[in-house]
Amino acid sequence: MSDRTPIIAGNWKMYKTSSEAKSYVSEFLPLVDGVSDVEIVICPPYTSLADVVHMTQGSNVLVSAQNMHYEDEGAFTGEISASMLTDLGITDVVLGHSERREYFCENDVDLAKKITKALSANLRPILCVGESDEDREAGRTEEKLKGQLIKGLADVSADQLAGMVVAYEPIWAIGTGKTATPQIAQDTIRFIRETLAAEFDAGAAAQVRILYGGSVKPDNIAELMSEDDIDGALVGGASLKASDFAQLVNYK
Ligand code: PGA
């Protein structure tokens, strides 16, 4: 058993208006009241961040953005900076989600800049990495993950790495209902931890929380969480209903 505190994070993606977000949080908070051995994170869209931070103040729920730009400010229409997030009270930011990489052409070089900026602004990055179906079929999973980690974390110190979160999200499992088996998730996350130890720092690799993401549901979370190297879950679809997400948080 590791002494890494588990993190259960709900990524709402492009779902929920502000009013929907507010009703969700009112329903959700009492359902997870008293949970202290799991870090709970909600990642709403930008338009609900302020409301959700306001409603969760003083609670056991942290609020994360789903993305941010690496510049402090400037002529970047449609983008959001780190200080815009921290000014609201946001603590975390998801970076490099496979949907950002695939549909919005995010690359590892930009991600490295985003991670450095987030860390310098005191935002905790949740860096997503993962292989496609083709990568796995062709035996390229490890090569792909290693490349994403080395490039994305290029400018991160050992201390910074220790406080970060990595989410292993196989693209073939996201939103498909096809969850990785606990064995595949464990083996791949173990590989990520070993790579971080070899390429960066062994102490930091032992401390960094590594989550699994991809069709996590109330009926498969306990099995995933029983694996040694899996420190939590990044959940999409099953985080959209307050009662389901509360069940995930209360997986024990
Ligand atoms: P999913 O999404 O749980 O709907 O598969 C996971 C994610 O994209 O973080």
Claim: this prediction has a pTM higher than 0.95: yes
Q: Is 232 in the pocket of ligand 1 (CB under 6 A)?
A: no
From first to last of the 252 residues of the chain, give the pLDDT tens digit: 578 999 999 999 999 999 999 999 999 999 999 999 999 999 999 999 999 999 999 999 999 999 999 999 999 999 999 999 999 999 999 999 999 999 999 999 999 999 999 999 999 999 999 999 999 999 999 999 999 999 999 999 999 999 999 999 999 999 888 888 999 999 999 999 999 999 999 999 999 999 999 999 999 999 999 999 999 999 999 999 999 999 999 999
Distance of CA 193 to the CA centre of its chain: 16
Q: Looking at residue 55, what is its pLDDT?
A: 98
Distance 117 CA to ligand 1 centre (A): 25
End-to-end CA distance of the chain: 14
Q: Looking at residue 1, what is its pLDDT?
A: 54
Structure tokens at 38: 């799991």
Q: Which atom of ligand 1 is nearest to the CA of 214?
A: 5
The residues near 196 (Cβ < 8 Å, ≥ 6 apart) are 149, 153, 161, 166, 204, 205, 208
Q: Is 213 in the pocket of ligand 1 (CB under 6 A)?
A: yes
Give the mutation target among 43, 174, 179 for probing the ligand 1 site: most ligand atoms within 8 A of CB.
Answer: 174
Distance 73 CA to ligand 1 centre (A): 30
Measured CA to CA, the distance from residue 80 to residue 39 in angstroms comes to 25
Q: Looking at residue 175, what is its pLDDT?
A: 86
Q: Would you please indicate which residues are annotated as catalytic (active-site) residues?
A: 97, 169
Q: Is 237 in the pocket of ligand 1 (CB under 6 A)?
A: yes
Q: Give nearest CA residue, ligand 1 atom 3.
A: 236
Q: Looking at residue 178, what is its pLDDT?
A: 86
Distance 75 CA to ligand 1 centre (A): 31
Would strands 209-213 and 165-168 be described as parallel, antiparallel, or unpaired?
A: parallel
Distance 154 CA to ligand 1 centre (A): 26
Q: Looking at residue 22, what is its pLDDT?
A: 98
